[in-house]
Amino acid sequence: MEEMQTRTPHIVVLPYPGQGHINPLLQFAKRLASKGVKATVATTHYTVKSIQAAGIAVEPISDGFDQGGFTQAQNEDSYLKSFKDNGAKTLSQLIQKYRDTSLPITCIIYDSFLPWALDVAQQHGILGASFFTNSAAVCAIFCHIHNGALALPVNVEDDEPLVLPGLPPLKACDVPGFIKAPESYPAYLAMKLSQFSNLEKADFVFANSFQELEGKEAKSVAKSWPAKLVGPMVPSYYLDGRIEGDKGYGASLWKPLSGHCTKWLATKPPRSVAYISFGSMVELTSKQTEEIAYALMRSNVQFLWVLRDTERHKLPTQFVDATEHRGLVVSWCNQLEVLANGAVGCFVTHCGWNSTVEGLSLGVPMVAIPQWSDQMTDAKFIEEVWGVGVRCREDEFGVVKSEEFLFCLKEVMEGKKSEVVRRNARKWRDLAKGAVGGEGSSDKCIDEFVTRLKIAENRREKE
């Protein structure tokens, strides 16, 4: 039997430089580090200072916009081209930096948005692993498009839903918007499809989901998307507790106001507060912001609303005075701490995958108000497949009116569905904990990966 090596495997994790991509990949790095792997995060010069996680090294690479990141670029196309050119060059230099040390790089784990990283890894004779940050269901949809089984634009009518293997029937409101209108976000669509451009050459494929949650969806496209489900990638404190001190992701492009929020929540009864957050990227229209605000003004619901300072002008002028005794509006907060707080009764969310995974992992019922892209599909599963929330219906102009929002909020907080939704939320929370716990489905996948890294490093050391 081949003896395991004495040299520690060294993985480099390369996320796309957005909060929703950095968090799960950084968490994967921490999971691997807890199992004896040396873990380094390679990120852009602009984001490098925002990452501080115990036990994880951080190295800068260049996207060509070192002073301002994406905001310095003219558009998505120019940014991605620059990141590919400059990123490939500086990632290669990083590999060379470690080549003759006691910890040469064994494997590059790259965000699936950055498939060029696999080419760099293979040029240097090291392993390459693609990491998908979307749900398995959404990945399956794009996999079908990539394989030619689903043509663009995707024409879907409510009376003739889209039926794909392993997925529930999808109505027009359930599919990513830009596959119905490819011309609407051409750069983003191209980036989504590029995830599969060289995937068959990858040594490993991972996704931030877990077997109990999306095993069927992943299996339906396993021949072309052989992903191992290793999630949920949520800090260990909120799940299995096996990584000491792991209470946060260790990366923030914004300064959270968690202390203020925690003090305010401490004054509220159990399950009495609606936590409202639309993530780091979504900007609600003025009309949609007003409708949510009017609903809160007319209700007796207590709420904590995360609204960036640049968005506050969209609130009705009388909003703060009308809700001062029931609500708190902050520019940012520690979402995990808030969701874990017993005062929170529901999570009003845009259904980004990270937020969806966090809501599921902490067992918080959800009110879904998806805005674009993959969020539409995530909302479908939140309501109809996992049964952990309700989805607000839009009017003919794409706006969730105040009456609809308030109805859904009360349904989840105190209505007929509330007990069923809370029971389902607890079920998925327990399954999420089980998946990453010892001998859980995700934990086994991670252990298998670590074993293969050790074998690869052992062979290389003997050469």
Q: CA–CA separation, 449 vs 129, rounded Å?
A: 10
Q: CA–CA separation, 32 vs 51, rounded Å?
A: 17
Residue 166 CA: distances (Å) to CA of 95, 122, 153, 170: 39, 33, 21, 12
Rounded to an integer, the average pLDDT of 426-440 is 97
User: Do the beta carbons of residue 207 and residue 132 sit within 8 Å?
Assistant: yes
Asked if residue 168 has a cis previous peptide bond (ω within 30° of 0), the answer is no
- The sign of the torsion formed by the CA atoms of 19, 260, 360, 408 equals negative
- Look at 70 and 173; give whichever has higher pLDDT: 173
Rounded to an integer, the average pLDDT of 394-408 is 96
Nearest to 334 by CA among 421, 237, 412, 268: 237
> What pLDDT shows up at residue 257?
53
The pLDDT-based confidence of 258 (bands split at 50, 70, 90) is low
Cβ within 8 Å of residue 149, ≥6 positions away: none
What's the pLDDT tens digit per position in 322-365? 998 899 999 988 999 999 999 999 999 999 999 999 999 999 99
Rounded to an integer, the average pLDDT of 393-422 is 94
Rounded to an integer, the average pLDDT of 12-41 is 96
Active site residue 10: no
Domains of the chain and any CATH numbers:
10-242+438-462 (3.40.50.2000), 258-430 (3.40.50.2000)
- Of 63, 111, 246, 374, which is the active-site residue? 111
Rounded to an integer, the average pLDDT of 7-17 is 96
The DSSP 8-state label assigned to residue 71 in this structure reads G
Q: CA–CA separation, 384 vs 379, rounded Å?
A: 8
The pTM score is: 0.95
Least confident of 4-18, 387-401, 436-450: 4-18
Longest CA pairwise span in the chain (Å): 74
Q: CA–CA separation, 310 vs 295, rounded Å?
A: 21
Q: CA–CA separation, 249 vs 135, rounded Å?
A: 19
Secondary structure element (H or E) that encloses residue 205, with its range? strand 204-207
Cβ within 8 Å of residue 414, ≥6 positions away: none
Residue ranges of E strands in 250-379: 273-277, 302-306, 327-330, 344-349, 366-368
> What pLDDT shows up at residue 429?
98
User: Do the beta carbons of residue 35 and residue 44 sit within 8 Å?
Assistant: no
Query: Based on C-alpha coordinates, what's the Rg of the chain?
Result: 22
User: Do the beta carbons of residue 328 and residue 267 sit within 8 Å?
Assistant: no
User: Do the beta carbons of residue 350 and residue 417 sit within 8 Å?
Assistant: no
Residue 372 CA: distances (Å) to CA of 173, 378, 398: 10, 11, 11
- The sign of the torsion formed by the CA atoms of 263, 245, 21, 225 equals negative
- Of 10, 21, 144, 350, which is the active-site residue? 21
> What pLDDT shows up at residue 1?
41
**Class of residue 74 by CB neighbours under 10 A (exposed 0-12, middle 13-18, buried 19+):** exposed
The pLDDT-based confidence of 93 (bands split at 50, 70, 90) is very high
Active site residue 240: no
What's the pLDDT tens digit per position in 184-232? 888 889 999 999 999 999 999 999 999 999 999 999 999 999 999 999 9
Asked whether the predicted pLDDT for residue 446 surpasses 70, the reply is yes
Instruction: Please provide the average confidence, as pLDDT, over all residues in the chain.
Output: 93
Asked whether the predicted pLDDT for residue 252 surpasses 70, the reply is no
What's the pLDDT tens digit per position in 115-172? 999 999 999 999 999 999 999 999 999 999 999 999 999 988 878 899 999 999 999 9
* End-to-end alpha carbon distance in the chain: 18
> What pLDDT shows up at residue 5?
47
Q: CA–CA separation, 170 vs 166, rounded Å?
A: 12
> What pLDDT shows up at residue 254?
54
